[in-house]
């Protein structure tokens, strides 16, 4: 149980970095959902998809 809590921040960082992968909103949301699913199950998939969508909006604003 203790090891899970030790590696959880590393998995969260990995999920956040994977959410930035992709060229459009659908790809970023899908990679975020996949990473979230691996880290935290169905709830993580929903959060990861949301993070991917937010990353997409930020990238679009930077490009303008």
Residue pair 48/34 in contact (Cβ under 8 Å)? The answer is yes
pLDDT along the chain (64 residues), means of 10: 63 66 85 82 86 86 82
Residue 11, pLDDT score = 67
Torsion angles phi and psi, residue 52, rounded to 5: -60, -40
Provide the terminal-to-terminal Cα distance of the chain, rounded to the nearest Å.
Answer: 46
Q: What is the pTM of this model?
A: 0.68
């Amino acid at each position: 149980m203790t090891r899970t809590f030790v590696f959880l921040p590393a998995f969260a960082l990995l999920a956040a970095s994977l959410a930035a992968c992709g060229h459009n909103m659908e790809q970023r949301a899908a990679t975020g959902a996949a990473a979230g699913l691996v880290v935290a199950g169905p709830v993580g998939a929903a959060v990861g998809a949301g993070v991917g969508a937010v990353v997409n909006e930020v990238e679009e604003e930077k490009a303008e």
